[in-house]
């Protein structure tokens, strides 16, 4: 167990690391952020920071020596960097989980192996393989880069008119996956925490609306029949157990028009669709992560309010003042000075009476 006063290392400098560092500080921990860029959102609020590329082995070694335990806040950290830290200090979730979830093929193969339903998919190695897979799967279908995609980057919708070579180039990856397009009723996610002792704390499934493939709105809890919600929770628990996860896991799912659940992707870290838990639950997803990786008991996931979370993306952030005038709204800004289209700048959580 790492007691308050100890130092938690966070690989990655984004808003998820920032909110984790803030939760850690409240429990009396210090944080040390490893980020690739100066003035990273997480580094601004951490006790210490190392700013270096993830491939800098000497910087990684210094970071590992300075922390008691470590975690990561985004998927695209090179597996080698995480393994270097894990050779010296406990890293949770364990590095192999990161390596599974940073590779869409490994992730879907894992889900298939444990009997969790996903949309049909094929590995794509070149434009010819794409053409053949599109024939087998039917169109529309979604071509995604296997690695390094996020917020819809590296995704191309394949229709009957698509030219395979153009789509392959547009995807921009070296290896792809073609997925059957899901004409879903809605998208949901389940966020849970799991401790080293195997204890699990699940938040209620939430409904997610995306705009341009980027999360725009989360409605908590999801407004779906109780059986679907219970099944979603059970699937998320099963995945966490089979991964032997210690930390926080988000499971993104499609709810089909017939009410079936198809898992879309996994994130072994706090998730954008769990930000509402900061303001509406007894214990936030970030505090759960701190508790889990430090070996403390998990907190209650009970919510004292329902909530609607809206991301402030790109120039949306200019509307931040509106939230201050709304007595039910809580404003969160991530300390990013440069506004770019599609960049997550902050979010607003509006609280509603508990249903
Ligand atoms: N197979 C699919 N069918 C329908 N919509 C999809 C499919 N794959 C992705 N999408 C849409 O694009 C969004 C982002 O895709 P996702 O696979 O979650 O990648 P990432 O979040 O890593 O960019 C999803 O939340 C969903 O709205
Ligand atoms: Mg996603």
Q: What integer pLDDT is reported at residue 153 of this predicted model?
A: 80
Distance 150 CA to ligand 1 centre (A): 9
Q: Where are the domains of the chain?
A: 7-91, 120-180, 186-352
Q: Rounded to 5 degrees, what are φ and ψ at 78?
A: -55, 135
Parallel, antiparallel or unpaired: strands 121-124 and 206-211? unpaired
Question: Which of the listed residues 149, 213, 218, 263 should we mutate to test ligand 1's pocket, taking the one with most ligand atoms within 8 A of CB?
Answer: 213
Helices (DSSP H) in 268-346: which residue ranges?
276-280, 285-294, 320-324
H or E segment and range at residue 23: helix 15-26
Residues in the chain: 355
Determine the distance from the C-alpha atom of residue 63 to the mean position of all C-alpha atoms in its chain, rounded to a whole number.
23
Q: What integer pLDDT is reported at residue 128 of this predicted model?
A: 94
How much helix, strand and coil, in percent to the nearest 5, is found in the chain?
A: 35, 30, 40
Sequence-separated (6 or more) residues with CB below 8 Å from residue 167: 127, 130, 143, 156, 158
Residue 153 CA: nearest ligand 1 atom is: 23
Distance 9 CA to ligand 2 centre (A): 25
Q: What integer pLDDT is reported at residue 306 of this predicted model?
A: 98
Q: Hey, what CATH topology would domain 186-352 get? A: D-amino Acid Aminotransferase; Chain A, domain 1 (3.30.470)
Question: Which of the listed residues 155, 186, 216, 255 should we mutate to test ligand 1's pocket, taking the one with most ligand atoms within 8 A of CB?
Answer: 155
Distance 272 CA to ligand 1 centre (A): 14
Tell me the Cα Rg of the chain.
20
Distance 158 CA to ligand 1 centre (A): 13
Distance 64 CA to ligand 2 centre (A): 30
Domain spanning 120-180, CATH architecture: 2-Layer Sandwich (3.30)
User: Which residue lies with its CA nearest to atom 2 of ligand 1?
Assistant: 181
User: Which residue lies with its CA nearest to atom 12 of ligand 1?
Assistant: 213
- pTM as predicted: 0.97
Distance 242 CA to ligand 1 centre (A): 23
Question: Which of the listed residues 102, 134, 214, 264 should we mutate to test ligand 1's pocket, taking the one with most ligand atoms within 8 A of CB?
Answer: 264
Distance 181 CA to ligand 2 centre (A): 14
Residue 182 CA: nearest ligand 1 atom is: 3
Residue 210 CA: nearest ligand 1 atom is: 27
Q: Which residues pair with 189 in a beta bridge?
A: 206, 252
The domain 7-91 having CATH identifier 3.40.630.30: the answer here is no
User: Which residue lies with its CA nearest to atom 8 of ligand 1?
Assistant: 142
Ligand 1 pocket by Cβ (under 6 Å)? 119, 142, 149-152, 179, 181-182, 187, 210, 213, 252, 264-265
Contacts of 126-131 with C-beta under 8 Å, sequence gap 24+, read 126/168, 127/164, 127/165, 127/167, 127/168, 128/164, 130/158, 130/164, 130/167, 130/168, 130/176, 130/178, 131/164
From first to last of its 355 residues, the chain has per-residue pLDDT tens of: 999 999 999 999 999 999 999 999 999 999 999 999 999 999 999 999 999 999 999 999 999 999 999 999 998 999 999 999 999 999 999 999 999 999 999 999 999 999 999 999 999 999 999 999 999 999 999 999 999 877 778 899 999 999 999 999 999 878 999 999 999 999 999 999 999 999 999 999 999 999 988 999 999 999 999 999 999 999 999 999 999 999 999 999 999 999 999 999 999 999 999 999 999 999 999 999 999 999 999 999 999 999 999 999 999 999 999 999 999 999 999 999 999 999 999 999 999 999 9
Measured from the alpha carbon of residue 264, the closest ligand is: 1
User: Which residue lies with its CA nearest to atom 24 of ligand 1?
Assistant: 213
Distance 10 CA to ligand 1 centre (A): 27
Measured from the alpha carbon of residue 137, the closest ligand is: 1
Q: What integer pLDDT is reported at residue 150 of this predicted model?
A: 78
Distance 103 CA to ligand 2 centre (A): 13
């Amino acid at each position: 167990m790492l007691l308050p006063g100890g130092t938690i290392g966070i690989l990655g400098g984004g808003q998820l690391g920032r909110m984790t560092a803030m939760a850690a500080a409240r429990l009396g921990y210090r944080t040390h952020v490893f980020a690739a860029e100066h003035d990273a959102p997480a580094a601004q609020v951490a006790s210490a920071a190392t700013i270096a590329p993830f491939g800098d082995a000497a910087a990684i070694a210094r970071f590992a020596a300075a922390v008691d335990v470590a975690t990561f806040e985004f998927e695209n950290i090179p597996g080698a960097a995480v393994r270097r830290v894990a050779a010296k200090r406990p890293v949770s979730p364990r590095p192999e989980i990161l390596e599974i979830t940073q590779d869409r093929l490994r992730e879907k193969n894992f889900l298939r192996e444990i009997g969790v339903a996903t949309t049909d998919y094929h590995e794509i190695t070149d434009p010819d393989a794409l053409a053949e897979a599109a024939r087998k799967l039917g169109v529309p279908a979604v071509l995604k880069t296997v690695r390094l995609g996020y917020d819809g980057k590296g995704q191309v919708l394949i229709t009957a008119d698509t030219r395979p070579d153009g789509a392959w180039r547009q995807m921009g990856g070296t290896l792809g996956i073609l997925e059957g397009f899901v004409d879903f009723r809605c998208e949901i996610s389940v966020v849970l925490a799991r401790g080293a002792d195997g204890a699990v704390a699940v938040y209620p499934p939430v409904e997610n609306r995306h705009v341009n493939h980027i999360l725009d709105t989360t409605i908590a809890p999801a407004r779906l029949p109780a059986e679907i919600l219970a099944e979603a929770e059970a699937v998320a628990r099963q995945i966490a157990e089979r991964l032997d996860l210690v930390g926080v896991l988000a499971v993104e799912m499609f709810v089909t028009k017939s009410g079936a659940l198809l898992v879309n992707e996994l994130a072994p870290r706090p998730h954008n669709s769990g930000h509402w838990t900061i303001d509406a639950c007894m214990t936030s997803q970030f505090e759960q992560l701190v508790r889990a990786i430090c070996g403390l008991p998990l907190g209650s996931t009970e919510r004292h309010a329902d909530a609607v979370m809206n991301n402030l993306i790109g120039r949306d952030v200019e509307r931040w003042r509106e939230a201050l005038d709304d007595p039910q709204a809580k404003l969160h800004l991530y300390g990013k000075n440069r506004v770019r289209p599609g960049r997550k700048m902050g979010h607003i959580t509006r609280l509603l009476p508990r249903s």
